[in-house]
Amino acid sequence: MNPPQANELELSLFGAGIGECVVVHLGAGNWMVVDSCLNAAGDKPIVLEYLEGIGVDVASQVSLILITHWHDDHIRGIAQILRYATSARFGCSAALNSKEFLTLVVADEDIKLVEHTSGASEFADVLKALDSRTSKPCRAGPDHWACDGLRLYSEANPCRVEVHALSPSSQTVTDTKGDIAGLIPTAHQIIRRFHSTGPNDLSVVLLVSTAGLHLLLGADLERGGDRRRGWQAILGSALRPRVTSSGYKVAHHGSKNADIDGIWDNLLVNNPCAVLTPFARGPKPLPSDDDVSRIKKKTNRLYCTTAWPPTKSPPRRDKAVERTMREVVRSRRAVRKCPGHIRVRAPFGGKPEDLMVDLFDGATAL
């Protein structure tokens, strides 16, 4: 593969059915990495293979690394990327910015705002990687605590590229800090609990704005229970840039709980280029047939990193292995190991119709 031109915008999305990573060319050889998943061998972040394969010097050219939220399928390998990308600034959700949370992570305790299977240990590894960059005795932390209205990147070249966080909302940050700290009521006091939050609620939605085209990266953010939370808060925000995006990384694998009309009506151009990764874990994989039909009513340019839906015919195994698996699980489906790759490119300053899509390693149009 060839790298993009200096004046060319690129969004590359990787995913294998479990796992997701976004890489964006910000112009003039500068790159942003959002989330992480591993290669087919499971020993290296796919983004490192891709960037090194097209001649990018990861140490000097990756300017920004962001984690949208701490679910396993979004964070595996992120500490390794951070160790390679020594010039990159690192950011994550401001909802996690609390002494209590960092203390729990360092202790590697089971906390509900990250998946314990690997999320807490991966966050601890990130903190160690950040610590290694400084000689000061105090512990290092993220360079950016992302929240609604925060500008994370700005380059005053002719392309005028900026990256803005559109979430989490202030109310979500408040809810999460309350969840973490807990409430200790006094005698005869009415207990007023904070809204319960999970990793998806904390997701960082990103807007990449340029002199022409714009990209909306939806993370796994869900609708929100009211206008102060989730996508409802983004639509009502007075801080977000008033632009419409030509490219959209569809939120939460196309799930209905992350989709509202306002995204398509107010944040996107008509018939945008929409890309998504599927999620094959669990009894109901995403996107469902209904999800695909719903999204295709909004755009006829919908692409998925793998052929979808997944085949229900698993590979043949030894009879004893097959018998054990039938006893353990109710249903199985084959999941690709190699992450598919959707690449979207267009010249900075171009028009929505200039977005060119290339599909690799099993990625497909839906």
Q: Domain with 158 in it: what CATH number? A: 3.60.15.10
Residue 199: the pLDDT is 77
Q: Which backbone phi and psi does 214 adopt, to 5 degrees? A: -135, 150
Question: For the chain, what is the domain count?
Answer: 1
Cα–Cα distance measured from residue 260 to residue 236, given in angstroms and rounded to the nearest whole number: 13
- On whether residue 331 sits in a domain, the answer given is yes
- On whether residue 2 sits in a domain, the answer given is no
Cα–Cα distance measured from residue 172 to residue 194, given in angstroms and rounded to the nearest whole number: 10
Residue 42: the pLDDT is 85
DSSP run (H or E) holding 64 = strand 62-66
Eight-state DSSP code of residue 115: -
Residue 37: the pLDDT is 92
- On whether residue 68 sits in a domain, the answer given is yes
Q: Quick check: 115 and 71 in contact, CB under 8 A?
A: yes
- On whether residue 3 sits in a domain, the answer given is no
- On whether residue 187 sits in a domain, the answer given is no
Structural domain for 344, as ranges: 8-181+196-365
- On whether residue 59 sits in a domain, the answer given is yes
Give pLDDT tens digits along the chain (366 positions): 899 999 999 999 999 988 899 999 999 999 999 999 999 888 899 999 999 999 999 999 999 999 998 787 788 899 999 999 999 999 999 988 766 566 656 555 444 455 544 566 788 788 888 888 887 777 678 999 999 999 999 987 778 899 999 999 999 998 887 766 553 344 445 444 445 567 788 899 999 999 889 999 999 999 998 999 999 999 999 999 999 999 999 999 999 999 999 999 999 999 999 999 999 887 789 999 999 999 999 999 999 999 988 665 555 666 676 666 566 655 554 555 689 999 999 999 999 999 999 999 999 999
- On whether residue 186 sits in a domain, the answer given is no
Residue 126: the pLDDT is 87
Phi-psi map region of 91: left, alpha, beta (phi>0 left; psi -120 to 50 alpha): beta
Q: Closest by alpha carbon to 104, among 165, 183, 180?
A: 180
Locate all alpha helices (DSSP H) within the chain, ordered by sequence: 46-53, 58-61, 72-75, 78-84, 99-107, 119-131, 170-181, 230-236, 261-262, 289-296, 319-328
Which amino acid belongs to residue 128? K
pTM, 2 dp: 0.87
N-terminal to C-terminal alpha carbon distance within the chain: 24
Residue 185: the pLDDT is 43
- On whether residue 158 sits in a domain, the answer given is yes
Eight-state DSSP code of residue 268: E
Q: Closest by alpha carbon to 310, among 340, 332, 338, 339?
A: 332
Residue 315: the pLDDT is 56
DSSP 239-269: SS----EEEEE-GGGG-GGG--HHIIIIIEE
